[in-house]
Each structure stands twice: as C-alpha cells, then as structure tokens.
Structure 1
Amino acid sequence: MPAYNSVFNTTDPPPRLVGNFPLLPLRTKTRGPAYTLPPADASLPPNESPDPDSDSYDILDEVLSLFRANTFFRNFEIQGPADRLLVYGIWFVSDCLSKIKPNASLREATRDVNNLALDLNFAIPGDPAWPLNQMYEPPRDRQDAELLKQYMSQVRQELAARLLARVYDEGDAKPSKWWLSFTKRKFMGKGL
C-alpha cells in the first residue's frame, strides 16, 4: 500500500514555487508571505480540521490528518509540489512531538514547541543540513531563499499551534498518549 499523497497537488491555479517548494495558502493569523484563507467555522473546536471540501481547509490540516498514517512508511513517492510541503510538515510535527515530555503540562509543552517553531536557525532546501536535497531544488537567489525561509517559519508557527491543540485536546494536564506514541518513529527514516 502506498503512502498518502496531498490533495493539493492538483490545485488550480498552481501555487507559486520557490525552487520546487510550493507556497500554498494557509488558514493562519501568523504574519508571513502566505496568502490567507478564510477562517474556519467558529463552532469548530480548535483540535479539529474543517471539512476537506471547505474553503478553509489547508495543507496544514492535511499534514496533521495524514501524519500518523504516513509515519509508518519508509518510502514516499512525490507526485507534485504539495507533497514536498507535506513531507516537511510531517518531519516538523515529528520534531515537535519529540519536544513534548509525557508528563508536561500544556504550558511547558507550548514553551518548548514554540521555541522550536520560532527558532530561525533551520535548514531550507539547498542547505547542506537539509535531509533530502536530491528531491528538493534550492532557491535560485537570496531573495527567493529569504521568502522561502519566511514562509517555512510561518508554516512552523501555525503547525505548532494546531498540533498543541490536538495533543492537549482533553485538557492541559497531560498530553495525549496516542500522539506521543509516534515520537520514536521517523518518516522515511529521516528527520529535520
């Protein structure tokens, strides 16, 4: 059985690409270069995603919904640009989960995960530290590299906030053991 690919691979019009990394629209309040989608229905709890047919559904909702299923795969066939963002999102979620301790309160986990999300010393495609440079093209100039770094920072911050809402959906006392059980798994055998 193959891994799950992104439904955003076939969006029309196609997203802007930096190298071959897509800059897809996001449902976010975090400042950055991403085009902002309309907010989700106000009655939707923060630990749930909107319906995939909704205008508010974005790639980060898809990352969180496919994370647990795709984590079991060692191979992943990239079928479009959105899959590159999906792969990056899954690696980042895995990094965030490794920062959450099993007995950490929501406040402690928020501090640790936000420190990871706000850290600006992360690799982008083309950097020697990037895990799969053979599948990602580097930005063509410094301006594109800066745009990609800002977009990835925005993705990291929004993904961290949504992940914490899911991991602590039953209260702020303890994280969900169903999410933390994936801390040791490495998607495609790699990590950030």
Structure 2
Amino acid sequence: MPAYHSTFLVDGANSREVGDFAVLPLKTKFKGPSLPCDSEYDIIDEILDLFRANTFFKNFQIKGPADRTLIYGILFVSQCLYKLNIRMSKSESVRVLLNLASEDFAIPGDIGFPLNSLYQAPKDRNESIFFRQYLTQFRQELAMRLIERLYGKDELKPNKFWMAFSRKKFMNKSL
C-alpha cells in the first residue's frame, strides 16, 4: 500500500516555489506572506487528514513540490505531539505549541536542517527571509488547527487517539 500524496498541484496562478518547496495559499488568522486560500480545503487540512495514515510509512516517494510541503507539515505535527502531554489542558497546549511554532528554526540550506538531502536551499537572502516568514505563519496555523482537532469538545484532555502518535516518526525523521 503506497503512502498518500498531496492533491495540490503547483500552478503559477495561486502559488510559488522556494527552492523546491511549494508555498501554497492558507486559510489563516496569522500575519504573514501567504496568499489567502479561495477554497475550504487547504494544505493544512490535508496535512491533518493524512498525518495518521502517512506516519506509518518509512519511505515516501516525492512526486512534486506540494509533497515536500506535506512532508514538512507531517514532521511538524509529530514534533507538536511530542511536546504535548496527555494531562495538558487546552490553554496550556496552545501556549506550548505557539511558542514552538514561533521559536527559531532551521530552513533548508541551514546546517541544522535535518532534511537537507530532500530540499533545495532558497536562492538568495530575500527568498530565505520570505520562506522563514511563510514557514512561521504555516507552523502557527498548523499548530492551532491541530489543537482544535486534539481537543474538540473536551477542554481538559486531548484525544487519546491522536496522542498515540506522539512517539511515531514519519520516514524515521524528526525536525
């Protein structure tokens, strides 16, 4: 059974690429360089929908730039779940994940980036600044939507079926 790939294709009208990473439109409340998303379903919804199924795969064949965005998102969700605790309330989790999303992180081309073999570095400094701003916005929105899926109706404890994936590693990698 093959892994699930992204359904988003990169076209010049509503997205761009930095290196070989697709910069796709987002439905977001956070400030950043992302274009607004026209549809109800964006890349973050797709990441959260495919996370649990793709986490079991050790190999992933990349079919396009949107798959690289999907891989980064899945690895970030894994990192978020690892930081959370089953006893955390929703407000504590929001604080932890927004700090994680906003903290300094490596981008492709940096020495500390674990997936440099899969991603190309940005071409110049301006593209690098744009990419870091986009990824910050992307991580913040992904963290908030993950919180909504984790807590749903119960504000006191996260969904145990999501938290069971906190120790799983997609492609045996982590951010």
TM tier, shorter chain? over 0.9
% identical aligned pairs: 51
What is the alpha-carbon root mean square deviation over aligned residues?
1.3
Alignment partners' CA distance in 2, 1:12 and 1:85? 16
Instruction: Tell me, yes or no, if structure 1 residue 187 matches structure 2 residue 142.
Output: no
CA distance in 1, matches of 2:58, 2:111: 22
Note closer, same or farther for the CA distance 1:158–1:80 as it changes in structure 2 (3 Å cut): same
2:18 matches 1:18: yes
Q: Please give the per-residue CA displacement for 1:134-188, whole angstroms capped at 9, x wherever unaligned.
A: 2111001110000000000000000000000000013101110000000000000
Letter in 1 for 2:54: N
Q: What secondary structure sits across from 1:8 in the alignment?
A: coil
Aligned equivalent of 1:52:
none
Q: Is residue 9–residue 79 contact of structure 1 (8 Å, CA) maintained in 2?
A: no
Q: 2:134: which partner in 1?
A: 151
SS in 1 for 2:3: coil
Task: Write out aligned runs for 1:152-171 (5 A).
Answer: 152-171=135-154
Structure 1, residues 69-125: CA drift from partner, whole Å, max 9, x if none? 000000001000000000000000011111111111111111111110111x10101
Structure 1 runs of 4+ with >3 Å offset: 10-14
Provide the aligned length of Structure 1 versus Structure 2.
Answer: 175
Q: TM-score, normalised by structure 2?
A: 0.96
Q: 1:67 aligns with which of 51, 61, 78?
A: 51
Which sections of structure 1, spanning at least 5 residues, go unmatched?
39-54
Q: Deviations over 1:17-45 (max 9, x none)?
A: 1111111000111111110124xxxxxxx
Secondary structure, in 3 states, of the residue corresponding to 1:17? strand
- With the length of structure 1 as denominator, give the TM-score of the two structures: 0.88
Q: Is the 8 A contact 2:14 2:25 kept in 1?
A: no
Structure 2 unmatched ranges of 5 or more: none
- Between the aligned partners of 1:85 and 1:144, the Cα distance in structure 2 is 16
For structure 1, which segment, 123-132 or 81-90, has the greater mean C-alpha deviation from structure 2 after superposition? 123-132
